[in-house]
């Protein structure tokens, strides 16, 4: 009989009124003997991945995950997307209406800290099990890489970007161990937050082999961890280090840029040539009506359509294959408009789309931006290499500006969770048609989400709210 991993460590955590999401107590987990074999460990690690693909709240709520809300967050807040539908599932995000009582903040916070708690419990179980060996090291490496990713994305949501902050500014609560019931935590500084992210990535890289591409769909490998570190360094304005990591992935990894001919076909595929890390979404594990497909199509919630300006921007580039991934859609009602076509669903299921968290094209763009900012390198070469695989009859350019690079990111990565953060990271303002009060500058308090009031209330005064809320 096939073993199911859910009973081992992928359980729904019933957080009591005296416990907060960032410190789920060990009493909520199964006994110390939960991990005894490598197979136990592998199923437990699978459970960590699954925690970001489907429901929380006793299996009833799919909000806040990479499979839906979170992955579209920076696009919905950016300049190119707009809500066409009127369901207002994510209105606090796209209209910048979040308050300390907002459900979006609550579910982002809850989702990520429950995933982190699972990681820490599995790591504790590994230590107690005495398991050793190369295969165990790989599982441990994946856990550290995921812990770094989840902390990084929590920090993007709930703290200032490090390139726009002082080192002593508040970061996030760090979840790096299993906490006892009643423990209350404070927010680490920005400096400590990113130091912890980098420490976990180093541990991940020390445990993961760099010899080959990941063989298990939906798992992160050495190259995913190294690409994530390049992204983190870029956000930290550590551009020479970002360039070093990006170059290494480009030159050494087995991943290859999509060709122009295959670009339109890759979005329904699992583990395509350029996708360094993606979460595996299936008909059993998905975000249902809060999924990428349901948000980005007229027959769904239609809360991630595209603006007239972005449609025109793409249509002005007919020689660029990336301009083809939009279409006019109608549900026969009020949801008529233009939508991206990156999330058509697999096997006829609109809910089933893998979020491509890290693609090789992003690594080329990281290299270009880092090279430009660090100086002494050739940023144009990375842009030229990427454009050759996207634009018919392309001719190389001799130089690029930061605006050229941001335009390339806008073309390549739309609908993949980058736009608003790319803008603010470069100290620019987002102009969002759904915010009539004007542009959202990089130092606007609304670029950061509020800490949920439920967390503030049970922290014994230790957890401080973000300014403006």
Band the pLDDT of 331: cuts 50, 70, 90.
very high
Higher-confidence position of 338 and 461? 338
- What integer pLDDT is reported at residue 204 of this predicted model? 98
pTM here is 0.93
Q: What is the pLDDT of residue 203?
A: 98
Q: What is the radius of gyration, based on Cα positions, of the chain?
A: 21
Q: Which residue has the tokens 């996030």?
A: 172
Q: Within a 13 Å sphere around the CA of 72, how many CA atoms are in the beta-carbon half?
A: 34
The average pLDDT across 363-382 equals 96
Residue 419 lies in a domain: yes
pLDDT tens-digit readout, 92-127: 999 999 999 999 999 999 999 999 999 999 999 999
Region for 59 from its dihedrals, namely left if φ exceeds 0, alpha if ψ lies in -120 to 50, beta otherwise: left
Q: Is residue 82 pLDDT above 90, yes or no?
A: yes
Q: What is the pLDDT of residue 149?
A: 98
**The pair of three-digit structure tokens given for residue 448, joined into one six-digit string:** 């950061």
Distance CA 122, CA 208 (A): 17
**Mean pLDDT over each residue of the chain, to the nearest integer:** 91
**339 found inside a domain:** yes
pLDDT confidence band for 17 (50 / 70 / 90): very low
Closest CA to 293 of 53, 279, 301, 416: 301
Q: Domain tally for the chain?
A: 1
Q: What is the pLDDT of residue 1?
A: 26
Would you say residue 16 lies in a domain? Answer: no
- What does the pLDDT look like over 164-186, one tens digit per residue? 999 999 999 999 999 887 778 89
pLDDT average, residue stretch 428-440:
91
Cα–Cα distance measured from residue 151 to residue 196, given in angstroms and rounded to the nearest whole number: 9
Is 11 domain-assigned? Answer: no
Q: Do residues 93 and 76 lie in contact, with contact meaning Cβ atoms separated by under 8 Å?
A: yes
Lowest mean pLDDT across 78-82, 160-164, 430-434: 430-434
Domain extent for 192: 36-208+219-457
The residue among 340, 326, 299 whose CA lies nearest residue 72 is 340
Contacts of 75-78 spanning 24+ positions with Cβ under 8 A? 75/304, 75/414, 75/415, 75/416, 75/417, 75/418, 75/419, 75/420, 76/303, 76/304, 77/419, 77/420, 77/430, 77/432, 77/440, 78/419, 78/420, 78/423, 78/430, 78/432
196-236 per-position pLDDT tens digit: 999 999 999 999 999 877 778 899 999 999 999 999 999 99
- Mean pLDDT in residue range 363-391: 97
Tell me the mean pLDDT in the region 43-72. Answer: 89
Q: Is residue 27 a part of any domain in this protein?
A: no
In a domain, 440, yes or no: yes
- Asked if the structure places residue 20 within a domain, the reply is no
- Find the farthest-apart pair of alpha carbons in the chain and give their distance in angstroms, rounded: 63
Rounded CA-CA distance 154/226 in Å is 19
CB 358 within 8 A of CB 224: yes
- Looking at residue 431, its pLDDT comes to 95
Token reading at 382: 């990375």
Q: What pLDDT does 436 receive? A: 82
CATH code assigned at 108: 1.25.40.390
Confidence at residue 376, expressed as pLDDT on a 0 to 100 scale: 81
On whether residue 2 sits in a domain, the answer given is: no
């Amino acid at each position: 009989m096939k073993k199911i991993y859910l009973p081992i460590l992928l359980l729904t955590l019933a957080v009591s009124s005296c416990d907060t999401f960032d410190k789920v107590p060990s009493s909520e987990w199964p006994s110390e003997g939960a991990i005894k074999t490598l197979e136990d460990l592998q199923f437990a690690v699978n459970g960590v991945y699954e925690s970001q693909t489907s429901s929380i709240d006793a299996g009833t709520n799919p909000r806040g995950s990479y499979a839906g809300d979170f992955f579209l967050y920076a696009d919905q807040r950016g300049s190119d997307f707009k809500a066409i539908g009127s369901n207002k599932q994510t209105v606090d995000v796209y209209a910048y209406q979040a308050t300390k009582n907002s459900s979006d903040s609550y579910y982002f916070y809850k989702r990520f800290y429950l995933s982190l708690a699972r990681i820490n419990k599995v790591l504790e179980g590994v230590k107690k099990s005495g398991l050793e060996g190369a295969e165990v090291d790989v599982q441990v490496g994946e856990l550290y890489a995921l812990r770094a990713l989840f902390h990084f994305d929590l920090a993007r949501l709930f703290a200032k970007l490090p390139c726009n902050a002082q080192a002593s500014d508040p970061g996030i609560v760090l979840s790096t161990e299993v906490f006892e019931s009643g423990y209350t935590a404070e927010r680490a500084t920005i400096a400590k937050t990113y130091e912890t992210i980098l420490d976990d990535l180093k541990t991940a890289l020390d445990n993961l082999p760099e010899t080959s591409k990941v063989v298990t769909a939906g798992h992160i490998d050495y190259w995913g961890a190294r690409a994530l570190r390049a992204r983190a360094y870029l956000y930290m304005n550590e551009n020479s280090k970002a360039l070093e990591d990006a170059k290494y992935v480009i030159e050494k990894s087995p991943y290859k840029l999509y060709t122009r001919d295959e670009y339109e076909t890759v979005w329904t595929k699992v583990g395509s040539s350029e996708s360094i890390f993606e979460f595996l979404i299936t008909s059993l594990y998905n975000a249902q009506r809060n999924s990428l497909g349901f948000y980005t199509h007229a027959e769904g919630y239609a809360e991630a359509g595209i603006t007239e300006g972005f449609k025109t921007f793409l249509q002005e580039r007919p020689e660029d294959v990336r301009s083809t991934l939009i279409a006019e859609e109608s549900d026969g009602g009020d949801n008529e408009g233009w939508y991206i076509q990156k999330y058509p669903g697999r096997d006829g299921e609109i809910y089933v789309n893998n979020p491509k968290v890290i693609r090789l094209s992003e690594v080329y763009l990281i290299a270009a931006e880092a090279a430009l900012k660090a100086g002494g390198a050739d940023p144009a070469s990375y842009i030229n290499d990427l454009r050759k695989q996207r634009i018919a009859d392309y001719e190389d350019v001799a130089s690029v500006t930061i605006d050229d690079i941001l335009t390339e990111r806008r073309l390549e990565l739309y609908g993949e969770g980058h736009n608003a953060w790319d803008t603010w990271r470069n100290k620019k303002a987002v102009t969002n048609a759904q915010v009539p009060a004007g542009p959202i500058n990089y130092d606007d308090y609304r670029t950061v989400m509020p800490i949920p009031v439920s967390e503030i209330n049970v922290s014994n005064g230790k957890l401080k709210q973000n300014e403006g809320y």
